[in-house]
Structure formats: C-alpha cells, structure tokens
Amino acid sequence: MERVVPAPASVQSGGASYAIGAGTRIHVPGNSDEVRKVGDYLAAVLRPSTGYPLPVVADDGGGDGIVLKLGATISGAGSDKAAGAGTADPKADGAGAPRDTAVALGAEGYRLVVSGQSVTIGAEQAAGLFHGVQTLRQLLPATIEKRTAQSGPWKVPGGTITDAPRYAYRGGMLDVSRHFFSVAQVERYIDQLALYKINQLHLHLSDDQGWRIAIDSWPRLAAYGGSTQVGGGPGGSYSKADYREIVRYAASRYLTVVPEIDMPGHTNAALASYAELNCNGIAPPLYTGTSVGFSSLCVAKDVTYRFADQVLGELAALTPGPYLHIGGDEAHSTSHADYVTFMDKVQPLVTKYGKTVIGWHQLAGAHPVAGAVGQYWGTNGGEKEVADAAKAGMRLILSPANRAYLDMKYNASTPLGQNWAGFVEVKDSYNWDPATFIKGAPAAAVLGVEAPLWTETIVTSADADYMTFPRLPGIAEIGWSPAATHQWDAYKVRLAAQGPRWTALGIGYYRSPQVPWPSG
C-alpha cells in the first residue's frame, strides 16, 4: 500500500489480504447508474487477466467481494500513515509518521478498506470511486493489466487508504496541432492520464501548423487549415462528432476536456484559411515548420472579433466543462498595446458563453477578467506581473517548462523533444512545489498543475509514451498528494514499481538511470 502513485493522503497497512477469485463479485448500489458504470469499468480491467467472470451485481455486498459504496462512511481500524512522508526509519517501507485520519473526501476523495472478506471503496461522489479503482489496480500484481489470462494469484494487501487531492485541477495537455492524433490515440492517452488521477485533458486544437476542430461558420479552418502538420504530413481534424466522442470518453474516465484556440499569435493555419483575418488581406501559405511568434490575427479589424466570437461560441456549445483556453502566448508579432486590446475584447466572449477564461501567463500583462486563470509556463517563477495578477485575484495553473513540459529532452542523447528550457530528468520534474514556485504569489491562488506534451517532434503514440513516462506520474503526484509526502528518495522507489505495469499496458517508457527499476 505504501507504493501507490500518487501517494495517498493516509495509509494504514496490515491485516488480512483479500484474494480475487472465481467467485468474486463486484457489488454496486442498485440506484446509481453512474456507480454501475464504475463497476463495469473495473470488471473490464480485471476480467481479461484473471479469467474470472466478476459479475457486477446491484446489492450492498454483505461484506463480501469488491464493494463500491456512494455517500457511505466506511471505517478502517487503527491510525493512518502518510504514504511516502519523511521518516528517519529506513525500514518504514516509505511510510511516515501517523497523521490525522479525518481526511475530507470531497468530490474526488475515496476510502479503500481491504480485509480478508472484501475490498470496499467508499466515496461521496462517483469520481472518488473511480480514483479508488485506480488505486486498487496498483495494489494488484502488474500482470493484472494484461489483456490475456495470467496465472495470478490476485491478492490485495490488507489495510486502509483514505485519500483526496491537494489541488482541484490536475491536467495533461496534448498538442494535436503540430502533429495530428486520431480520436483513438487521444482516448488511449486519456486512459493513461486516468491511471494517475489526472482530471483535465487540455487539447491544443489550433496553431500555426494546423487547425483541428470543425467550425461550421468558418469551414475552411479545418478543411484547409487542418490539411497539414509539422514536416508536411496530411494533418487531419476532428468533426464535431469526433470531438463529442473525445468529450464523452474523457468524462467516462472523469476527465474534463479543456479546449484551446490559441490567439492572437500561433494563428497561421487560420490566417492561411481566410485572407480577411490578415491586416493586408492576403492569406499566407500553410506552414509546416516549427518556428514561433511570426503570426498574428489583425487586431484592428472587426472581422477578427466576429471570427473569435463564432469560433468560441461553437466550441463552447460542444464543451460541457467550465473552461475555454484562449492561448495568448508568444504573440511576438502583436504589439503590447494591440495584445491588451485583443485580450480585452476576447475574454468577454468566453464569459458570454458561460465559460471561464484560461490563458497562458502572458494574460497577466493585459487585464485578466474576474475569475480568469493564467497558465504559467516560464522557468524561474520570477515574473512580477504574474505574482501581481495572482495577488489581484487571477488563479494559476503551474506548468513550468523546466519541470512539467513533457516534450523537453531527458538528456543530450534523448532522440525526441527539445531543450530550450533545459534537460528535464525525472528528478527535476518531481522536485518542485506549486505553492512556492511563483515568487510572491499567494499559495491560495494556485488552482493546480498541468503537464503539457507539445508535439513538434512527437509523431506517434509510441513517441508520446516515451516522453510522458516516467515524468507524468510525478506531476500527477505533485497535484494530488499532500506536500508532506513529496520526498524523492521514497518516490523513486514507488515510481520504479510502476515500470512492470507500464510494460503490461504496452507503454514504452524511458528507463531513467535515476530510478531503481526492477531487473528483468
């Protein structure tokens, strides 16, 4: 139980283990379709490898089998321990000093109790049950993840875990603009994010190299602007039905989709599609390189804001989540005055459609609207305007490029990725604290963290796997686990135990020399 990633808020190990067998049933309350879906999801994970039928039945379980309880209080005996917290005892197996057992579960927390007769997961909401299921997976042998029958045995160690997240926003970003990823590839990535209790999928849907979402009022954006990608490949775009499917699938894994339309820069695909969006009325050619900062919507034209209004309106109608991301980074071809003018006009369009503005942290240099969120991607946390905006009420998502950017090379020999923010080894990506990273910003301003995967050099899902793992779980832990649990020496042991699980899942990962991976 002390090897779970992200580290739970509190852990008590001990007592009899539970063995999943041919007669095990998954019990769900009869009055909740949502919990039934979590039970069906769990059964779909466990059946192929165990070979057991694992029927999902609508009853309270009677203290036997795997029991999912919604809004129920379940208790475990004894005092809890904070998994991975600092301890002077090297024999403590990663567990730390006793902590208060009264962890408030909230919308995403859960309590998991394992005895000789049952595994019980209780939560206030179904999202918590789903996160508890991810923990249960890690308590089983790694071969549970295989899609063919394995030998077992399937024992869950005894004890109690009580768990809830540190931050409400824990994101992963996939850039589908530099290289296009199909719906199936995005859904595979969603499954990987869900393993580590990530709850936001940020899709970077537009950039200089490609426009990836169909907009009825501006059809050439996808048809023409989406026809290529970095290197000149065929590109691609999502129909509205495709996008709805991604949203649906993400919701089934308790992730919220955060769509981004980057403006006013990073817009060459749009400018190439519609000449009137350019100040000179001339459409530039499509772009397949990797330079940044050369494009800009025409801030002085009324058509620019009709464009922004219609695009954001159609995207808002497709997106049930609360956020619309309007980019705002690297607008080097836009004067500061024009940038401020643009953001002052576009932010109210987001709120008009009932959504919350997210922009890259350059938004702090304009006039963030009430409730706006700035996504920080700098490297040293010293930008005074970001701290000042946070003090004035702007909330922050932390994605420092030299810590959280998954496209940064691990070292000089990494075959993929970039190094403009430096090399980012696994320890670098783990050893930082969102609460203190922005100098002078109040800790309460931090909404959460996000790990972006930019795809200038990422072409396939295998490429994405290699750059995402093993760094993503560390960002997930920073977002989920109590700050007191963040200790590299304990974490690297827990992380190493994930390696066989990734292999079983078909995830090819970077075997960092900083991590004591199991041999064989």
**What are the residue numbers of the active site?**
330
- Residue 102: CB atoms within 10 A of its CB come to 8
Gap between the Cα atoms of 224 and 183, Å rounded: 19
List, in sequence order, the alpha helices (H) in 177-267.
183-195, 220-223, 240-252
Gap between the Cα atoms of 3 and 128, Å rounded: 19
Q: What are the backbone angles phi and psi of residue 259, rounded to the nearest 5°?
A: -85, 140
- Residue 142: CB atoms within 10 A of its CB come to 20
Hey, what amino acid is at 472? L
Non-local CB neighbours of 256 within 8 Å, separated by 6+ positions = 199, 200, 201, 250, 320, 321, 322, 323
Taking each helix axis from N to C end, the angle separating 33-50 and 126-139, rounded to the nearest 10 degrees, works out to 10
Hey, what amino acid is at 19? A
Greatest distance between any 2 Cα atoms in the chain = 74
Assigned token pair, 78: 């004894």
Hey, what amino acid is at 66? I
Assigned token pair, 478: 């920073």
**Half-sphere exposure (Cβ direction) of 48: Cα atoms closer than 13 Å:** 12
Quote the radius of gyration of the chain (alpha carbons, Å).
Answer: 23
Write out 399-447 in H/E/C secondary structure: CCHHHHCCCECCCCCCCCCECCCCCCCHHHHHCCCHHHHCCCCCHHHEE
List, in sequence order, the alpha helices (H) in 23-172.
33-50, 126-139
Non-local CB neighbours of 45 within 8 Å, separated by 6+ positions = 133, 137, 144, 145
Cα of 392 vs its chain's centroid, Å: 27
Contact between 438 and 387 under an 8 Å Cβ cutoff? The reply is: yes
Q: Which one, of 16, 157, 147, 169, lies nearest residue 83 by Cα? A: 157
Gap between the Cα atoms of 477 and 473, Å rounded: 6
- Residue 90: CB atoms within 10 A of its CB come to 8
Q: What are the backbone angles phi and psi of residue 277, rounded to the nearest 5°?
A: -80, -10
ω before 470 within 30° of 0 (cis)? yes
